[in-house]
A and B are shown apart, each in its own frame.
Chain A
Amino acid sequence: GAGVSQSPSNKVTEKGKDVELRCDPISGHTALYWYRQSLGQGLEFLIYFQGNSAPDKSGLPSDRFSAERTGGSVSTLTIQRTQQEDSAVYLCASSLRRSQGPRRDTQYFGPGTRLTVL
């Protein structure tokens, strides 16, 4: 079946402009995560959504970053007034549910959006 999709695959923008990155999770997955990965680095958690609960925004690096998830499905990550240090690959992942107990569901990652801020 269809996996997690992200758009655009590549985005080049000028410093100071706003950008929107989109994530379409796997149908039926209630948990959605955003990560950032700089070149050759690990995954930096940004935010996650679980059903109708308030999102966990603890990983957002500044108030220039925000995310929405409409109708419990598609999510948009917005970066305002982009800076050069925002350049990275932004990965979205979804899982069937975020378990309450110790067993967590597999996260399925999208192909990412490569953001370059000039």
Chain B
Amino acid sequence: NAGVMQNPRHLVRRRGQEARLRCSPMKGHSHVYWYRQLPEEGLKFMVYLQKENIIDESGMPKERFSAEFPKEGPSILRIQQVVRGDSAAYFCASSPKRGNYGYTFGSGTRLTVV
């Protein structure tokens, strides 16, 4: 029973390139959350998705960032035209249902923009 799988673990991109981060939730979990952790800061909520639906994207920057969770396959966090300020650890969490069930986190993707 694999946990939440994120890949890649480390990603290096040059300024202006695109970054794609993948998250496969735990088996049976249909709710996915993305968080960003900047150096020396706490984890900040970005987006909450269910299969084929974005439920809450209030934490997503208005430009360059997008997320999806298709019917088949992993959830994808996409950052277009990356800048140095996008360098951070991006964590994905999943839960089985909405509500009082707690969350399981993946190991994160560490994005470095050079």
Answer yes or no: are A and B bound together in one complex.
no
- A interface with B by C-beta (< 8 Å): none
